[in-house]
Structure 1
Amino acid sequence: MNVSPVIKNIRNVMRQDKGVNGDAQRLEQMGWMLFLKISDAKDEASEDMDETGDFVSPIPEKFQWRNWAANDKGITGDELIHFIDRELFPGLRELTVANDKRTGLVRDVFRGNNNYMKNGHLFRQVVNEMNKIDFHAAKDRQVFGQVYESILRELQSAGSSGEFYTPRAITEFLTEMVNPRPGEKVLDPACGTGGFLTAAIEHIRKSSADNLKQREMLQNSVCGMELKPLPHLLAVTNLILHDIELPDISYEDALLRNKSVTDKDRAEVILANPPFGGNVDEETADTFPLSFRTRESADLFLVMMVNYLKPGGRAAIVLPDGSLTGNGVKARVREMLLRHCDLHTIVRLPNSVFRPYATVAANLLFFERKSSPAREPDEFSTKAIWFYEHSLPEGMKYYSKTKPIRLSEFDGEREWWNHRTESEKAWKVSIEAIIVRACENAAPHFQKETELKKQARNIKTKITRQKADLKKLDKKKDAVKIKRGQADVDKLEKQLQETETKARAEKKTGDRIYYAAFDLDFKNPNSNRANEEVADINDLLEALGQSFKESSEILQQIKDTIKDCGEL
């Protein structure tokens, strides 16, 4: 049957209900109702196949779709709203889970979502429209799966909910390039509506025989996490529509899991578009190592995803430009990434790919974990990075809701992927050479810092001895000695303060030079659109190091001059 008119009718009915306010609430309302109907169809199929009679639905009989919704002339009006608000939702939210994952999934869905409809007669109309779709029929289910994808696309214009949807072309391209294979665990720790997971499912199905073994394998190897209730509900429904009997999508904050990751949790493949531009709470940030603590969600997700990758595991993720550059924690996160992983490819996207939700420029990062989680690698895993600039189609100024990015636009990247050469769109950066040069330029400053710290320790020792000697003197008999000795202590303490300040300055200078090597915001040097001269990064680092050295010398001269003036 043609499912589109049914969805259109459901929308029109919901718009008449005063309780449903906006697209996001309409999608949530439609989402949990579809979840119940699809789950009931799955349960009936399981009951038909169960020869032992042992199958028990996780949804209590009273709340199963067939028992309150399937009859078009069933309860309606206030009676229906009372049943939904006072019985169905409380009953499903308080299900006893024990060790039953299916029951836990149902409970999580209803704990996180709500019934917004207030008019029971309109509610009955929506139910009756949904009853026109036969989820037992494979053809109806397949057609609805396609319609469901269009429903998810609407999230792009559903206010802040747009963050949960990644354009289909992006999910398919990343999945194709990272190439998840049968039996590999695929993880999306910020799965939104499940776009990457369904892309992985479809990709694996194309590469292997469709049989019971494959279905069981997919059931046990595709998993996700999602913090917010609406996308969690939509993702669960999405995977059920892709014949995943029990979607392994946990309703939780993935970032809070970072400290407790074990080998069993790690995955061979990570596909993700983590939230960026948002701030996490302090409690969440504090679960990360001190050197990586930040409120920026994208940076924390990057740290966590490296942690979740098995050695040899592959990742393809979306990150904003802001994650490729910046100092402090951002630079340390990138250093960690390049040390533990081979970041072999970055595809630079136009800044309108996620319109209208966001206009920030984004990048597609492809990397493979080389290190073992048990030890810190001595060398950097990334030696060189290939960049590819994905341009807008000719004649197009920007992407939009009506003109989104299309999969065919990645044909250039596909052709180039296994036969890489530099071109107007592609260029290669030797990260290894940049890091070596940065280390060489920073080394004198770190060496000077070490020397100054040693001097500071010696001064502290002198101060301790001086103070100990002063304590032995008699305050009355040795007043002059005490005064002279205290003056010496004061002088040493001032000297200590100056030495420690110099040491910190040297470290700061060394850090600036060193961490500049991990700025990955490389512009295309081959583009005809940019005629300005692009300086060699090694020359820039050398010049930067020389500049810091000269600045330090000038600063020292000024301090010496001030000191001399003071003594005069």
Structure 2
Amino acid sequence: MSISTTVKAIQDIMRIDEGVDGDAQRISQLTWMLFLKIFDDREMEAELFEDDYISAMPEGLRWRDWAANDEGMTGETLLDFVNTKLFKSLKNLDLSTSNNPKSRILKEAFEDGFNFMKNGTLIRQVINKINEIDFNNSQDKHLFGEIYEKILKDLQNAGNAGEYYTPRAVTQFMVNMIKPQLGERILDPACGTGGFLTCALNHLRKQVKTVEEREKLSHLIMGVEKKPLPHLLCITNLLLHEIDAPKVGRDNTLANPLRNYQPSDKVEVILTNPPFGGKEEDGIEGGFPKAYQTKETADLFLVLIIHLLEVGRRGGIVLPDGTLFGEGVKTRIKEKLLSECNLHTIVRLPNGVFNPYTSIKTNLLFFTKGESTKNIWFYEHPYPPGYKSYSKTKPIKIEEFAAEKAWWNNREENEFAWCVSIEEIKANGYNLDIKNPYQ
């Protein structure tokens, strides 16, 4: 049975349960259950290699303790255990008595979690389906990638994934161009389900040559996500990528005033696709210098990223067209970016890259902090032959970026690429929405 079929079978069981209403709740239910199974599988693997391994999970709450036996508790007994023992204990974990970083992960994962299912017999049926997958088996471990993609597609269909889904081709291209190096700390301050983090992790893994270097990886990948479902998906994904204590916090990065960040908080690489079109709640903008105060989420993230990058280090960010041509505070933010960073490249993506949840045109900005911008290269990404737009069935593919990659280190103007001087940009009021002169 394929993974897609298994996930569909699980969701069909959930549809019978009167407590689960709609795709979003089914996905949330499946995610916390998968997380607990994967968490336990990873702990079992750790126990094989560490004689003195101590579980972060409270006694009796490990998946193997209550879920692994297909003939184990069911019905009202199981429902009562999940609601009054499992969730209650994990939500109320006392972090002051534990030095285990996995305890924080467990608490954050369940703080806003909820068991939607009301039928303990159906919960048992779902558990038994999940037990068919062995996440310590290398083949099944890779299959989680399929589950993850299936969940993301279902989230898209549920209509609420636009703010935490970036097409794989886009994350891959940006990581390829930023080229993170082993030893560099990589941050995504709006990490969603972890697309940039896992892609960067895979990139770094190719550089690993020793056990010590492999162990360093878990300290290099960092993220923050404020919404519970994408946060849990991100943690689960990183666990499967053998990061046993992911450094991914549940928080709104923008809520921490800039003045509170210490030099030790600065990083070498930032890769992110912050939510665009969103507004922050009252008071958040007060943590930023007055000249850059705005409620627009994407604009505040750009200011934050400039602040958090170390001098001489690299950033890559996805931004909507509105940031490029916007005036007022947006102009001051762009002036800050161009004076404090070398914004060397803007890749302009066509309509439809983020279909089906938004038709807003987007741009990929690449910059290095610590030197001002002299010239900006623009590259207009074309549709493949025969395409008029992208869609769910025809998404953007990594192979399409071959032209940009070939041009990147040997830049010349052509029908898709052009260069604009900082003098021209200043004269134009810092408007970066510059059309292709060759089209």
Give yes or no for TM over 0.5. yes
Q: Which residue of 1 aligns with 2:219?
A: 220
**Compared CA separation, residues 434 and 323, structure 1 to 2 (3 A):** closer
Q: Take 1:348 and 1:433, find their aligned partners in 2: how far apart are those partners?
A: 19
Q: Which residue of 2 aligns with 1:286?
A: 286
Q: Which residue of 1 aligns with 2:32?
A: 32
Count of residue pairs the alignment pairs up = 436
| Counterpart mapping for 1:124-143 below 5 A | 124-143=124-143
Pair 1:236-2:263 in alignment: no
The CA RMSD measured in Å over matched residues stands at 1.4
- Aligned pair partner of 2:407 in 411, 416, 422: 416
Q: Take 1:431 and 1:523, find their aligned partners in 2: how far apart are those partners?
A: 16
Secondary structure of 1:517's match? coil
Q: Take 2:4 and 2:326, find their aligned partners in 1: how far apart are those partners?
A: 47
Secondary structure of 2:304's match? helix
Q: Take 2:351 and 2:40, find their aligned partners in 1: how far apart are those partners?
A: 43
Q: Take 2:94 and 2:20, find their aligned partners in 1: how far apart are those partners?
A: 30
| Counterpart mapping for 1:489-508 below 5 A | none
**Compared CA separation, residues 334 and 81, structure 1 to 2 (3 A):** same
Q: Take 1:153 and 1:362, find their aligned partners in 2: how far apart are those partners?
A: 21
Task: Write the deviation string for residues 314-352 of structure 1: whole angstroms up to 9, x where unpaired.
Answer: 011100000111211000000000010000000001121
Q: Which residue of 1 aligns with 2:421?
A: 430
Amino acid aligned to 2:429: A
Q: Take 2:226 and 2:175, find their aligned partners in 1: how far apart are those partners?
A: 23
Secondary structure of 1:388's match? strand
Q: Take 2:132 and 2:259, find their aligned partners in 1: how far apart are those partners?
A: 47
CA displacement at 1:2 relative to structure 2 = 4.3
| Counterpart mapping for 1:168-567 below 5 A | 168-209=168-209, 211-257=210-256, 258-370=258-370, 381-435=372-426, 438=427, 516-527=428-439
CA displacement at 1:521 relative to structure 2 = 0.6
Secondary structure of 1:112's match? coil
Secondary structure of 1:311's match? strand
Amino acid aligned to 2:23: D
Is the CA contact (8 Å cut-off) linking 2:254 and 2:301 kept in structure 1? yes
Amino acid aligned to 1:88: L
CA displacement at 1:143 relative to structure 2 = 2.1
Q: Which residue of 2 aligns with 1:75?
A: 73
Task: Write the deviation string for residues 504-549 of structure 1: whole angstroms up to 9, x where unpaired.
Answer: xxxxxxxxxxxx431101010111xxxxxxxxxxxxxxxxxxxxxx
Secondary structure of 1:95's match? coil
CA displacement at 1:7 relative to structure 2 = 1.8
Is the CA contact (8 Å cut-off) linking 1:24 and 1:161 kept in structure 2? no
CA displacement at 1:112 relative to structure 2 = 2.0
Q: Which residue of 2 aligns with 1:477?
A: none
Amino acid aligned to 2:75: G
Pair 1:145-2:145 in alignment: yes
Q: Take 1:400 and 1:2, find their aligned partners in 2: how far apart are those partners?
A: 25
Q: Take 2:212 and 2:146, find their aligned partners in 1: how far apart are those partners?
A: 25
Unaligned runs of 5+ in 2: none
Amino acid aligned to 1:526: Y
Q: Take 1:214 and 1:151, find their aligned partners in 2: how far apart are those partners?
A: 32
Is the CA contact (8 Å cut-off) linking 1:383 and 1:431 kept in structure 2? yes
Is the CA contact (8 Å cut-off) linking 1:155 and 1:165 kept in structure 2? no
Is the CA contact (8 Å cut-off) linking 2:352 and 2:389 kept in structure 1? yes
Pair 1:93-2:94 in alignment: no
Amino acid aligned to 2:266: R
Amino acid aligned to 1:523: K
Flag the structure with more relative contact order, 1 or 2, with Cα contacts below 8 A and sequence separation at least 6: 2
Is the CA contact (8 Å cut-off) linking 1:171 and 1:196 kept in structure 2? yes
Is the CA contact (8 Å cut-off) linking 2:323 and 2:330 kept in structure 1? yes
User: Relative to total residues, which structure has the larger helix share, 1 or 2?
Assistant: 1
CA displacement at 1:414 relative to structure 2 = 0.8
CA displacement at 1:114 relative to structure 2 = 1.1
Task: Write the deviation string for residues 337-368 of structure 1: whole angstroms up to 9, x where unpaired.
Answer: 00100000000011211111111010000001
Task: Write the deviation string for residues 274-328 of structure 1: whole angstroms up to 9, x where unpaired.
Answer: 0110110121111111111101000000000011100011011100000111211
Amino acid aligned to 2:406: E
CA displacement at 1:434 relative to structure 2 = 4.3
**Compared CA separation, residues 319 and 183, structure 1 to 2 (3 A):** same
Secondary structure of 2:305's match? helix
Unaligned runs of 5+ in 1: 372-380, 439-515, 528-568
Amino acid aligned to 1:424: E
Secondary structure of 1:207's match? coil
CA displacement at 1:208 relative to structure 2 = 3.0
CA displacement at 1:80 relative to structure 2 = 1.1
Is the CA contact (8 Å cut-off) linking 1:225 and 1:251 kept in structure 2? yes
- Aligned pair partner of 1:58 in 53, 56, 64: 56
Q: Take 1:262 and 1:153, find their aligned partners in 2: how far apart are those partners?
A: 39
Is the CA contact (8 Å cut-off) linking 2:3 and 2:146 kept in structure 1? no
**Compared CA separation, residues 287 and 179, structure 1 to 2 (3 A):** same
Task: Write the deviation string for residues 17-41 of structure 1: whole angstroms up to 9, x where unpaired.
Answer: 2222222211111111111111111
Amino acid aligned to 1:334: K
CA displacement at 1:133 relative to structure 2 = 0.5
Task: Write the deviation string for residues 170-214 of structure 1: whole angstroms up to 9, x where unpaired.
Answer: 0000000000011100000000000000000011112333x4223
Amino acid aligned to 1:396: Y
Q: Take 1:122 and 1:315, find their aligned partners in 2: how far apart are those partners?
A: 47
Q: Which residue of 2 aligns with 1:494?
A: none
Task: Write the deviation string for residues 541-562 of structure 1: whole angstroms up to 9, x where unpaired.
Answer: xxxxxxxxxxxxxxxxxxxxxx
Is the CA contact (8 Å cut-off) linking 2:4 and 2:150 kept in structure 1? no
TM-score normalised by structure 1 residue count:
0.75
Q: Take 1:136 and 1:338, find their aligned partners in 2: how far apart are those partners?
A: 48
345-354 or 185-194: which moved more?
A: 345-354
**Compared CA separation, residues 15 and 162, structure 1 to 2 (3 A):** farther
Secondary structure of 1:364's match? strand
**Compared CA separation, residues 158 and 213, structure 1 to 2 (3 A):** farther
**Compared CA separation, residues 245 and 425, structure 1 to 2 (3 A):** same
Is the CA contact (8 Å cut-off) linking 2:315 and 2:366 kept in structure 1? yes
CA displacement at 1:433 relative to structure 2 = 4.8
CA displacement at 1:11 relative to structure 2 = 1.8
Determine what percentage of the aligned residue pairs are the same residue. Answer: 50
Q: Take 2:267 and 2:311, find their aligned partners in 1: how far apart are those partners?
A: 9
CA displacement at 1:113 relative to structure 2 = 1.6
Is the CA contact (8 Å cut-off) linking 1:187 and 1:224 kept in structure 2? yes
